[in-house]
Amino acid sequence: MKRCFCNRLKIALINPPFTLEECFKSFARVGSVQQPLGLGYVAATLEQRGHVVKVIDSPALKLSLQETVTAVRKIRPEVIGLTATTPTFHRAVSLAKKIKQEMDIPVIIGGPHPTTLPEDTLAYPFFDIVVVGEGERTMLELIDCLESKRSLNTVRGIAFRERGKVTKTHPREYIENLDNLPFPARHLFPPLRYYHPTPSAYRSLPQATMITSRGCPYSCTFCDHSVFGKRYRARSASNVVDEFEEVVYKYGAKEVRFWDDTFNIDRKRVLAICKEIRERSLEIEWCCLCRANLVDEEMLKIMAQAGCWQIDYGIESGNEELLKGVNKGVTLSQIRKAVEKTKAAGIKVRGFFMLGLPGESERTIRQTIKFAKTLNLDVAVFHIAIPFPGTEFHLQAVMNGEISNEVEYQHYLMFGSNDIPYTPKGLTRKQLLWYRYKAYKSFYLRLSYLLKQLSEIRSLGDVLRYLKGLITISRVE
């Protein structure tokens, strides 16, 4: 590939186009579009070095593939950077192919899917370099390398083709002090009003998202640790609330969602963040994802006082043995107590379940549905379990001959897809789809649940959100 660069490069970072219908199928009505914070962190890091960076967030702008290419052409970048998850990887392939047909410039790709499968990714000739793992420092060094025309072998944490073969350089160390990272370059994204969460995940719009930690020390078999690893690293409370203030005062957020894998791993830090929010008189509501075995009455009370209105818990199953089988590290008793304590603190609860985990049967699915209805949940989300590449779940499924490596990754959708890449032994695809249908209908169409939700309506916005959710549930296939 040609490398012709000026002193400071013009770089286009792109979130490939997809539609809600494509990504969420029958759940498109409640599908979410969120700011790609990974691109935001990379963009901010490159801007600090003086590079000219443009971000094209195609899903937020509702750009088609050709419209995205037209936007790239107008920017006339010298380097392209793409991000991709497994469900969006095929869109990144299509976009890179079109870009390469028009521009002879390096195309770099990063994100969970390329990090997990760099060799497979580079089998597509439209990608020149894969960023493996955290992207900020790797992209900075990689761009400097391209600018000075040094050998790519000097850059840690990448993969590229060399003499027809894939070369992987030495892994890059994880970023230890996350406070040293600049806040995501949200000024390069469309305004917050272009983004929207699922109706059950917000009270006020626009909602901003934040990531305050990286790495998860737990070993759930369905989770991918390829980008951020398993070692927990967290930002300081003051740094977190500095960004909280920025999204509120600079970008107009009326609510914040913390996108950490597990917000409450460090209890002292949670309390410090809450204290900092209150001391700065930031009366903005927020929500987060927590582990059920790490909450207590005092922490929940303080979180509520600091503005936390909802907590998501990954419950997964109502069968104890299945939870052990996926290394969840949480018991049904701990889940029940966590939900009760959370509700007692005045915080709403959203529970996430997986149908079709290894060892699942019709009996265990029925147990999960029953367990969900016995919990005092405000929202229940029933996924069909997907063995994403990079997870132990995927590795075991391949080794057991239950799934092939030769798959079409666009079928790996978390919500709504009827193209299920994995079914546990003893169950069929048709059964899993039927039980997903049954789970949603039996949970949400209970008279007691409907009356409870009606009694908690606070505004016209609540009415509209509930109606959107009910319409979606009524159309689940």
pLDDT score, position 241:
98
**Whether residues 43 and 106 fall in one domain:** yes
Token pair in block for residue 131: 């960023």
Listed in sequence order, the DSSP H helices in 161-235 are none
pLDDT score, position 235:
98
SS (H, E, C) 15-70: ECCCCHHHHHHHHHHHCCECCCHHHHHHHHHHHHCCCEEEEEEHHHHCCCHHHHHH
pLDDT score, position 410:
57
DSSP 475: T
SS3 185: coil
Q: Do the domain assignments include residue 186? A: no
Domain of 416, in residue numbers? 197-474
Dihedrals phi, psi of 413, to nearest 5 degrees: -105, 140
pLDDT score, position 465:
72
Q: Do the domain assignments include residue 296? A: yes
Last residue of a domain, one of 147, 168, 189: 168
**Whether residues 227 and 99 fall in one domain:** no
**Domain total for the chain?**
2
**Whether residues 77 and 139 fall in one domain:** yes
**Whether residues 282 and 345 fall in one domain:** yes
Dihedrals phi, psi of 328, to nearest 5 degrees: -65, -35
In angstroms, the Cα distances linking 196 to 24, 164, 397, 414 are 14, 43, 34, 17
306 in Cβ contact with 278 (< 8 Å) = yes
pLDDT score, position 94:
96
pLDDT score, position 403:
79
- In angstroms, the CA 90 to CA 400 distance is 26
Q: Do the domain assignments include residue 192? A: no
pLDDT score, position 455:
83
Percentage helix, strand, coil, to 5, in the chain?
Answer: 45, 15, 40
Nearest CA among 134, 132, 133, 143 for reference residue 105:
143
**Whether residues 77 and 120 fall in one domain:** yes
**Whether residues 150 and 212 fall in one domain:** no
Token pair in block for residue 387: 């063995």
CATH code: domain of residue 221: 3.80.30.20
Residues 6+ apart with CB under 8 A from 143: 9, 11, 46, 49, 51, 79
pLDDT score, position 398:
87
SS (H, E, C) 100-113: HHHCCCCEEEECHH
DSSP 3: -
pLDDT score, position 433:
92
Q: CA angle 127-132-134, nearest 5°?
A: 125
SS3 440: helix
Cβ-in-10-Å burial (0-12, 13-18, 19+) of 365 comes to buried
| pLDDT tens for the 477 residues of the chain, in order | 444 434 588 999 999 998 766 766 667 677 789 999 999 999 999 999 999 999 999 999 999 999 999 999 999 999 999 999 998 999 999 999 999 999 999 999 999 999 999 999 999 999 999 999 999 999 999 999 999 999 999 999 999 999 889 999 999 999 999 999 999 999 999 999 999 999 899 999 999 999 999 999 999 999 999 999 999 999 999 999 999 999 999 999 999 999 999 999 999 999 999 999 999 999 999 999 999 999 999 999 999 999 999 999 999 999 999 999 999 999 999 999 999 999 999 999 999 999 999 999 999 999 999 999 999 999 999 999 999 998 999 999 988 888 765 556 655 655 556 678 889 999 999 999 999 999 999 999 999 998 888 888 777 777 777 676 666 666 666
- In angstroms, the CA 467 to CA 463 distance is 6
pLDDT score, position 472:
66
pLDDT score, position 65:
96
Start-to-end Cα distance in the chain: 48
**Whether residues 306 and 432 fall in one domain:** yes
SS3 217: coil
Q: Do the domain assignments include residue 2? A: no
**Whether residues 155 and 265 fall in one domain:** no
**Whether residues 222 and 131 fall in one domain:** no
Distance of CA 426 to the CA centre of its chain: 31
**Whether residues 330 and 434 fall in one domain:** yes
Q: Do the domain assignments include residue 4? A: no
pLDDT score, position 6:
45
Q: Do the domain assignments include residue 146? A: yes
- In angstroms, the CA 302 to CA 156 distance is 42
**Whether residues 203 and 329 fall in one domain:** yes
Q: Do the domain assignments include residue 185? A: no
CATH code: domain of residue 119: 3.40.50.280
Q: Do the domain assignments include residue 241? A: yes
**Whether residues 157 and 263 fall in one domain:** no
